[in-house]
Structure 1
Amino acid sequence: MSIPRRLEPESGPRRVLPDFRRSAATIERMLRSLDDGPALETRPVASAAPGSADAAGVRVISSSRAARTALLRAVVAGLLLWAGLTPAVLATALILRIPAGRSPRVELLLILTVLILGALALLAAGARWAVLALAAVRSRLERDAQAVTVFGPFGSRRVPWTEIVAVDSRVLHPVHGLTSALRLRGGGRVIMPLFDRPLWTYHRPSDRTIRDLRARAARHDPTGDR
């Protein structure tokens, strides 16, 4: 099979299309490069023997950049926590300098308020980034024919496919920022920290793994509403 180089009657030499049957791996890499989500990898569950029925039915989805992401987030958390200690120490020193039995001046109260609020804000931000660093290490998904198990920074939750109403790819969370979640029939929601991404990627399409989860949940929907 060949295609013309131009559309004129005299199209000139023709080029042969590549044999895509021998380029399946290349095509998969091209498809993965179109995704805007995290770099994910899917493999059989480690507890199942290779080639067994369990290994074929249970898949683990994790980030291939977990170590690098965790290191960067840990560095940011450390810097914020260190920066939060500085105004806290200054506020403590100023409080200790107030003479016993005397009320502080208005100017000193304003300075103490700014220092204390700044320290609390920096410490809260540092704690948030510490949680995100832990989430980068622990977050993953395990899916099988019956349910999907979501692993977060502090635990895991197994959600049957029949309980999933929808898979939301643009969820704003106070800790995880822009992330994805499973919406359940009882009105609850299960955050999937594996799909945390920056807020400036809000307009981009959802990851291919999210679309696959959405399709699988729709196939298990007993009501057939989707």
Structure 2
Amino acid sequence: MLKILLIEDDIDMQELIRDYLHNYDFEVDAFTQPKEAIEKFQRDPKRYDLVVLDLMLPQMDGFDVCKSLRKLSDTPIIISSARGEVSDKILAFEAGADDYLAKPYEPRELIIRINAILRRVTKELREVGSFTINEAKMEIKVDGYSVDLTQIEYDLLLFFIDNRHKVLSRELLSNAMKGIEYDAKERTIDMHISNLRQKIGDDAKKPKYIKSVWGIGYTFIGE
């Protein structure tokens, strides 16, 4: 069941949205206080598939809430607000929102927007074990944290993931990568793999992901 974080201080509106989302088989955690919602989100950013956020809130301005959530995760955020000025919409998108619904609106429209965003995100992202891959943006996260990879490191990691549990020779890896020429003496591929291991938190002596195969090359052992 998909999980929604709802931050809305108008109790009547909160109940309306929550009940409607429940009717469409969404699990909803609803908050009136944004600081409590942020604390909940911070404990497990991967728990939620999408956030529905009001702008006119106690404790914090909704734009600041949006920025705080965006710093923690790429989870899609839909603004649900009575503030319908173009300037508010611009500020919301600049703060990291993915969509904006100006109140009043039909609850069915919210469902349509949520499903559209989730279809797009599902198409762009794929998860393999500890790795979340956004090939459209050429981004990779490990346990929810972004890693800054070079083009060759990125290509290597994708090649490993796509060929996991297969023993891959250094020559095969070199031929599969653009910009690397196989050199049995200098073994340039080893240097790139060493750098990749360091960035994804892998230990060559006790590998979680990339295991050396003596005399041949490497194998990706992560799930």
Report the TM-score, using the length of structure 1 for normalisation.
0.22
The structure with higher relative contact order (CA 8 Å, sep 6+) is 1
Report the TM-score, using the length of structure 2 for normalisation.
0.22
